[in-house]
Structure 1
Amino acid sequence: MKKSSTNSKHSNKDKKKPAKEVPQPQTWEEYMEEGVLLEEKGERYATGDKARRFYEKAGDMYNKACKLNPEDSDCLYNFGRVLYILVDFTHSPCQKLSLLNASIERFRSALIYDSDNADTLFNLAQALTTHAEVIQDHDEDDEEAEHDHEHKHSESDHFHGSPEERAALELQEAIQLFENCYIIQQRELYAAVKETHPKKGDTEEMPNELAEQLQEELANNAGVLIDTLISTSQALTSLAFLVDTVDRSQKYYKQAGEKLEIALGVAGDKLLWPASEEESSSGKGKGKASSASLDSAESEDVMPALKPVSVFREAESQDGAVSQKEKICDIHLQYSNLLSSQTDRNFQDTGKISEELYENSLQHLDVVLSLQPRHVEALCDKGDLLGAWAQGLAAFEGAVPGLSDIEKWDSGSNITLGNSDAVAAEGEPKKSTRSNRIWQLFASATRAFLSALEVESQNTSILEKLGDIHWSRSLLTSPVALKNRAMLLNNASVYYRFAWESCRDGSAENVDEEQRLEILLSWAQVLRAIPGKEEEVIRVLKQWKRCGGSKEMLTDMLEGQSGDILQEDFIEFALKQARKGL
C-alpha cells in the first residue's frame, strides 16, 4: 500500500539538516573578537558554571591571540583580566594563587608596552591586593603552588619571609600602583570637566543631547576615580593591620581615611554629577549613630525562627550610568571597614575595647542604610560590627562562660528556661549596665541580619550568621538571656538547618566545602546543648563525616584556635565520637 502524500511531506519536514559547522578563529583579530564575545556571555550569566566556562573559553582565545602577537597590550590586558575574574570561581587556595600569578604576569607584560594605561595599573594593583589576602590565609610551603612559581609577579618572588611580611610587600606595591593610576585618572577628570563645563565665551552653547552625554561621561570618570581611592584605602587598611609598630599602623590608617575624604569630596562635587542626583550628596556627612535602635532591645523576648522568605522583588537592571548615591554608599562602607579594622588593631595593641571606634563605624553604615535601606552588604556589615562589639564586651567582662559551666549552673537554678514570667533565680544580683548593653547590641545585630535575610532569603552566609549570633546570645548569663535561652538555642538550630539545606547539594554560590562542614559542626554543637537531641547530634555529625569531615580536622582545631563559635569542649566531644566511628 502506498503512503499518502500528506504523510510523505510530513516525514520529509521532520528531517533535521546537519548542523552547519562554525568556522574556528584563525587570525589574531578573530581570536580577539571571539574572546570578547565569550566574555560578554560570561557577564550575562554573572555567576555559576556556565559563566565560568565562558570565561575559561575567553581566556583560551586570548591566550591563542597572545601567541600570535605577544606584544599587544590590549590582548595581554584582556587575558589578565579574565584570569583575575576566574579567581572568584574557585575555592581552592592553590588554584587561586595559580590564577593570580598568571594574571599578574599578564598585567605586568601589558604595562611594558603601555606603561600609562590606568586600567592595567588598577587591575594589577587589585590582583596584588587579592594575592596578599590569599597568602595570609594559606600556607604555601606545603602546597605545590609554592614549587610551581613559573609566573613572576613581584620583586618579592624569592622573598621567603612570613606570609604577613610577603603580603605587606605586595600591598605596598599595590598602593604605589593605585597612586600612579589616580594621577592619570585625575588628569583625565580635569580634562573632562573643562570639556563639559567650558568657561563662558570659550565655545558656543552645545546641544542638550551632547551636554547630557558629556555629563554622563564626566560622572563615569568621577566614579572611576572614586573606585581607585576606595581601593587605595582598602590596601592601606590591610597594610595598617599587618605592620609591626603602632606608629606605622596609625600612619597607614590615617592615610586610608584621607583617601576616603578625597573620595567624599569628589562624590559631593555638583559639577561632576547630573543635577537629578544632587540630593543624594546629603550622604556626604558621617551621619548620626542609631543608638535609639538599641534602647528597647533589652526587655524584648526572642521571637521564634521562621522559614526565610524574601519579601522584596529583585531590583530591576539599571543602565550603565554611574550612580552618585551608590558611590557615596561605597565610600561609607569602606570607611566603616577601616574603623572596624582599626578597632581590632587597637584591641590587639592595647587589650582595650574602643567603643568610640565602634560607634563611628556604625555611623557610616547608617549613612549607607539611610540612602539604600535594603543594602545587603551594609546590613551584614552592621550585624557583624554589632556582634563583634557585643562579643568583645562579653569576653572582656567574662560574661560568656563555657557550655559546661552554663549546664552546671542551670541544673542548680530555680529558673524554668523559656518561661517569660521566670526572669531570675531567687537572690540573683541586679543586672549590670554592661550586661544590658551586651544584650542590646546582640539584639540589634540579630535584627540587622534578619533585615538582610528579607532581601536574600536563600543566602547561606546570612543564615549561618543568624545561627552564630543566636548561639552566642544563648551563652550569655544575664537574666534576660537566661530567660530566653531555650528559644535562642532552638532558633540557632533552625537557622543552621536552613543554612545547611541551602547549600547541602553543593550548588549554592560562594559556599565552599569548608563552610558546609563548619555549618554542620555548629549545628551539632547547638543540638548538643538542647536536652533530648542526642540522636540528632550524632546524625548531624555523621552527615559531617560523609561530607569530608575527619578526625584530623578536629585535631587541628584543638591544636589551633576553634574560634568564637566552635568551643573546645564540643570539639573534644566530636573527636571522641569520630574515634568511635560515629
Structure 2
Amino acid sequence: MKKSSGLSKFASGRDKKKSSKETATPQTWEEYMEGERYATGDKARRFYEKAGDMYNKACKLNPEDSDCLYNFGRVLYILVDFTHSPCQKLSLLNASIERFRSALNYDPDNADTLFNLAQALQTHAEVIQDHEEEDDEDEEGGHDHSHGDHDHQHHGSPEERAALELQEAISLFESCYAIQQRELYAAVQESHPAEEADVEEKPQNLIDQEKQELANSAGVLIDTLISASQALTSLAFLVETVERSQEYYKDAACKLEVALGVANDKHLWPARAQESSSSGKGKKKEAAAELIVEGDPEDVLPASKPVSVFREAESKSEDVNQVDKICEIHLQYSNLISSQTDRNFQDTGRISEALYEKSLQHLDVVLGHFPRHVEALCDKGDLLGAWAQGLAAFEQGSDAGMAELEQWDASSGSGIPLGTSDVVAAEPTASPGAGSKISKRAGKIWQLFASATRAFLSALEVEPQNTSILEKLGDIHWSRSLLSSSVAIKNRSMLLNNASVYYRFAWESCREGSTENVDEDQRLEILLSWAQVLRALPGKEDEVLRVLKQWKRYGGTKEMLVDLLEGNSGDILQEDFVEFALKQVRKL
C-alpha cells in the first residue's frame, strides 16, 4: 500500500453555493455547464451528466458539429474526477478521447480541442499504469477503449502504452502552442503597432480591456507550456535509458523557461501586477538552509483538533493574474526537479541534496507570494519528508548505522521490529562526539522531519478538514517516532500519540465529508496506518482490534494484506505489522 510521492492539488477555498430558491433549474447546455461553479459533489456531477446527455443527443442529430463534439468530450473528461473506479475512469476517458478526435477531424486547428485531447491522453496514461488489472478486466467486459487510428491500448506493457500516449500528448501540446503563439503575436501587434501613424487615441477602458485580453491569451499559452512540461516530466521518469530521461527533463525545463519569459513580458500584463513579475531566481537561495536550522528541534507539540484560523477564501476573478501564473510555473518547476531527484536515486542509488534544495527554492517563491498556498505547503512537506526519509534509509544501509539500529531496537522494548522493508527505518543514535558525521546527519534528519511537520500544519490551518493533509501528518509523526536519535527517543511517546490522533481525525474527516474526494483505498489505508500506530502504544490492544474490524467492515480483505506482503508493504506500513494484521483478520 505505497503512499503517493505527493499530495493532490487542494483548493484553498470554496465558492458559496446559492440556495435552491435563488437558482433556477438549468434548461440549456450552457446553464448545465454552469454546474462547474459547484466544484465538487453530487449536485455538480448530476449537472454534468445531464449536460452530457444533452450533448449526446445533439451529436446524434448533427455528428459533424465540431463544437458539440468538443463540448461532449469536455463533459466526459470532467466526469472522470467524479469517480474512483478505474474501470469507469477508463471508460469515460476513452469516450472523451474519441469525441475530441472526432472534433479535430472537422476542425483540425482548434487549439482548445488539441489541448483537451492531450490532457485526456495524459490522464489515460496515468490510469493505465496504476490499474493494469482493472484495465484488462474492463476490456474483457466489452467497454470501448478505442483511440481511433492511434489505438495503443492493446500493445505492450502499461508503461510502454503510457509512454506512447505521453508522446502523442506532447506532440499535441506542441501543435496547440504553435497556434496560440501565432494568435498572441497577432494580438500584440494589434495592441502595440510598430508604426506611429497606426497609433490611435484610445479611451482608457478600451486600453485596459485590450491589456486584460492579452493577459488572458498569455495565460492560456502558459497553461499549454506547463502541461507540456508535466507530460515530458512523466515521460522522463518512465523511459528506461538515462540519456533519454535526461533529454526529456531538459525539454521539460525549457518549456518552463519559455513560460517564465511570457509571464515576465511587461507588454502582456496589466501594470498593477508588475511588482510581482520576478521569476524568483536567486531570491530564495538561502531558504532551504534556513529551514534546516529554524525552530527548536526538540519541540514536539501534542496534536489538537484542527480548526481553521482563516476566513473562507473569496472567489477569484476570472481574469488571468500574472502572479498566479508565475506561481503555477514554479510549482511545476518544483515537481519537475522532485521527479528528477527520484529518478536520479533510481539510476545511481545516491541522494542528490542539491536537487532537493533547488526544488525547495521554487516552492519558496510561491510561498513568498502566497504564504497560505495549500498545494505549495503540502509539496514542501512532501519534499522535506522525502529528503529526510532518504537520508534515514541511507544511514540504515551503513554498517555503523545497522549496528546502532540493532542496539536501539534491542534496548527499547518497543515491540516493533524495524526491518529492512521500512523506507524510513531507524536513524542511528548519534555518537558521543558532537562533531561526528553521524551526529550531524542525525540532527539534519530530525530537523527536516520537523520542518515538514510545520509545513503540513500550516496547510491544515487553511483546510482543517482535508483528509489527505491529516493522513500525511499521521504518516510523518509515525516516521519520526521510528528514528533512534536521542531527541526522537525522548519524544517517541508524544510522536506516537500525535500520529494516532491525526489518523483518527483523518478517519473522522472521511466519514463526515472532507474538503476533497477520498476513495476507498485511501480510507482503508488510513485505518491500517492507525491500527499500526495503536499497536505501538502500550495498552491499546483492544483499540487495535476495533480498528481492524472497521477496516474489514469497510471492505478490507485477507487478499489485500497478502498482496501487501508480496509487493512490499510500502512507505508507512511495516511488514511485521501486515503479518500481524493478517493473523488477526483471519480470526475476525
TM-score normalised according to structure 1 size: 0.89
Query: Aligned pair 1:408/2:405, yes or no?
Result: no
Q: Does the aligned pair in 2 maintain the 1:403–1:529 contact within 8 Å?
A: no
Equivalent residue letter for 1:560: G
Structure 1 Cα separation of the partners of residues 556 and 157 of structure 2 = 29
Post-superposition Cα deviations, 1:187-244, rounded to whole Å, max 9, x if no partner, equal 0101111122223221312111111111000000000000000000000000000001
Q: How far has the Cα of 1:429 moved from its partner?
A: 6.7
Specify whether residues 333 and 39 from structure 1 end up closer, same or farther in structure 2 by C-alpha distance, changes over 3 A only: same
Structure 2 Cα separation of the partners of residues 551 and 166 of structure 1 = 32
Structure 2 Cα separation of the partners of residues 477 and 425 of structure 1 = 5
Q: How far has the Cα of 1:157 moved from its partner?
A: 3.5
Give the corresponding residue for 1:67: 60
Q: How far has the Cα of 1:412 moved from its partner?
A: 9.8
Instruction: List aligned pairs for 1:419-430, cutoff 5 A.
Output: none
Q: How far has the Cα of 1:506 moved from its partner?
A: 6.0
Give the corresponding residue for 1:521: 528
Q: Secondary structure at the match of 1:522?
A: helix
Q: Does the aligned pair in 2 maintain the 1:387–1:445 contact within 8 Å?
A: yes
Give the corresponding residue for 1:9: none
Give the corresponding residue for 2:483: 476
Give the corresponding residue for 2:224: 228
Q: How far has the Cα of 1:505 moved from its partner?
A: 4.9
Query: Aligned pair 1:239/2:235, yes or no?
Result: yes
Structure 2 Cα separation of the partners of residues 358 and 317 of structure 1 = 34
Give the corresponding residue for 1:546: 553
Q: Does the aligned pair in 2 maintain the 1:289–1:359 contact within 8 Å?
A: no
* Residue segments in structure 1 that go unaligned for 5+ positions in a row: 1-21, 25-32, 414-423
Q: Does the aligned pair in 2 maintain the 1:298–1:439 contact within 8 Å?
A: no
Specify whether residues 459 and 252 from structure 1 end up closer, same or farther in structure 2 by C-alpha distance, changes over 3 A only: same
Give the corresponding residue for 1:268: 264
Specify whether residues 128 and 363 from structure 1 end up closer, same or farther in structure 2 by C-alpha distance, changes over 3 A only: same
Query: Aligned pair 1:559/2:566, yes or no?
Result: yes
Structure 1 Cα separation of the partners of residues 109 and 305 of structure 2 = 53
Query: Aligned pair 1:190/2:197, yes or no?
Result: no
Query: Aligned pair 1:168/2:155, yes or no?
Result: no
Specify whether residues 127 and 482 from structure 1 end up closer, same or farther in structure 2 by C-alpha distance, changes over 3 A only: same
Out of 311, 314, 320, the residue aligned to residue 313 of structure 1 is 311
Specify whether residues 425 and 368 from structure 1 end up closer, same or farther in structure 2 by C-alpha distance, changes over 3 A only: closer
Give the corresponding residue for 2:333: 335
Out of 285, 288, 300, the residue aligned to residue 288 of structure 1 is 285
Structure 2 Cα separation of the partners of residues 298 and 127 of structure 1 = 46
Stretch moving more, 69-78 or 534-543 = 534-543
Structure 1 Cα separation of the partners of residues 139 and 309 of structure 2 = 45
Q: Does the aligned pair in 2 maintain the 1:229–1:263 contact within 8 Å?
A: yes
Structure 2 Cα separation of the partners of residues 171 and 312 of structure 1 = 40
Stretch moving more, 180-189 or 156-165 = 156-165
Instruction: List aligned pairs for 1:391-470, cutoff 5 A.
Output: 391-398=389-396, 408-411=410-413, 432-470=439-477
Q: Secondary structure at the match of 1:466?
A: helix
Instruction: List aligned pairs for 1:82-97, cutoff 5 A.
Output: 82-97=75-90
Out of 32, 43, 47, the residue aligned to residue 38 of structure 1 is 32
Equivalent residue letter for 1:497: R
Q: How far has the Cα of 1:148 moved from its partner?
A: 2.8
Stretch moving more, 136-145 or 356-365 = 136-145
Q: Does the aligned pair in 2 maintain the 1:97–1:145 contact within 8 Å?
A: no
Give the corresponding residue for 2:209: 213
Structure 2 Cα separation of the partners of residues 275 and 23 of structure 1 = 41
Q: Does the aligned pair in 2 maintain the 1:237–1:338 contact within 8 Å?
A: yes
- In the alignment of these two chains, the number of paired residues is 541
Post-superposition Cα deviations, 1:387-419, rounded to whole Å, max 9, x if no partner, equal 000000100111898999865321399xxxxxx
Specify whether residues 66 and 289 from structure 1 end up closer, same or farther in structure 2 by C-alpha distance, changes over 3 A only: farther
Structure with larger Rg: 1
Instruction: List aligned pairs for 1:320-359, cutoff 5 A.
Output: 320-359=318-357
Structure 2 Cα separation of the partners of residues 90 and 306 of structure 1 = 32
Stretch moving more, 228-237 or 131-140 = 131-140
Q: How far has the Cα of 1:450 moved from its partner?
A: 0.3
Specify whether residues 97 and 406 from structure 1 end up closer, same or farther in structure 2 by C-alpha distance, changes over 3 A only: farther
Give the corresponding residue for 2:247: 251
Equivalent residue letter for 1:227: D
Stretch moving more, 504-513 or 397-406 = 397-406
Out of 41, 46, 52, the residue aligned to residue 48 of structure 1 is 41
Q: Does the aligned pair in 2 maintain the 1:264–1:284 contact within 8 Å?
A: no
Q: How far has the Cα of 1:345 moved from its partner?
A: 0.4
Post-superposition Cα deviations, 1:9-48, rounded to whole Å, max 9, x if no partner, equal xxxxxxxxxxxxx999xxxxxxxx72221111x1121110
Q: Does the aligned pair in 2 maintain the 1:94–1:145 contact within 8 Å?
A: no
Structure 1 Cα separation of the partners of residues 406 and 429 of structure 2 = 19
Q: Secondary structure at the match of 2:278?
A: helix
Structure 1 Cα separation of the partners of residues 529 and 174 of structure 2 = 43
Q: Does the aligned pair in 2 maintain the 1:107–1:124 contact within 8 Å?
A: yes
Identity %: 75
Structure 2 Cα separation of the partners of residues 148 and 329 of structure 1 = 43
Q: How far has the Cα of 1:580 moved from its partner?
A: 1.1
Structure 2 Cα separation of the partners of residues 461 and 513 of structure 1 = 13
Give the corresponding residue for 1:570: 577
Structure number with greater CO (CA < 8 Å, separation at least 6) is 2
Q: Does the aligned pair in 2 maintain the 1:181–1:228 contact within 8 Å?
A: yes
Give the corresponding residue for 1:376: 374
Structure 2 Cα separation of the partners of residues 348 and 219 of structure 1 = 41
Specify whether residues 369 and 426 from structure 1 end up closer, same or farther in structure 2 by C-alpha distance, changes over 3 A only: closer
Specify whether residues 263 and 143 from structure 1 end up closer, same or farther in structure 2 by C-alpha distance, changes over 3 A only: same
Specify whether residues 205 and 565 from structure 1 end up closer, same or farther in structure 2 by C-alpha distance, changes over 3 A only: same
Give the corresponding residue for 2:16: none
Give the corresponding residue for 2:18: none
Q: Secondary structure at the match of 1:353?
A: coil
Give the corresponding residue for 1:6: none
Q: Does the aligned pair in 2 maintain the 1:283–1:371 contact within 8 Å?
A: no
Equivalent residue letter for 1:504: R
Q: Does the aligned pair in 2 maintain the 1:98–1:145 contact within 8 Å?
A: no
Specify whether residues 437 and 403 from structure 1 end up closer, same or farther in structure 2 by C-alpha distance, changes over 3 A only: closer
Give the corresponding residue for 2:176: 181
Give the corresponding residue for 1:127: 120
Give the corresponding residue for 1:361: 359
Stretch moving more, 73-82 or 159-168 = 159-168
Q: Does the aligned pair in 2 maintain the 1:470–1:488 contact within 8 Å?
A: yes
Q: Secondary structure at the match of 1:282?
A: coil
Q: Does the aligned pair in 1 maintain the 2:430–2:442 contact within 8 Å?
A: no
Equivalent residue letter for 1:168: A
Give the corresponding residue for 2:138: 144
Query: Aligned pair 1:100/2:93, yes or no?
Result: yes
Post-superposition Cα deviations, 1:75-132, rounded to whole Å, max 9, x if no partner, equal 0000000000000000111100000000000000000000000000000000000000
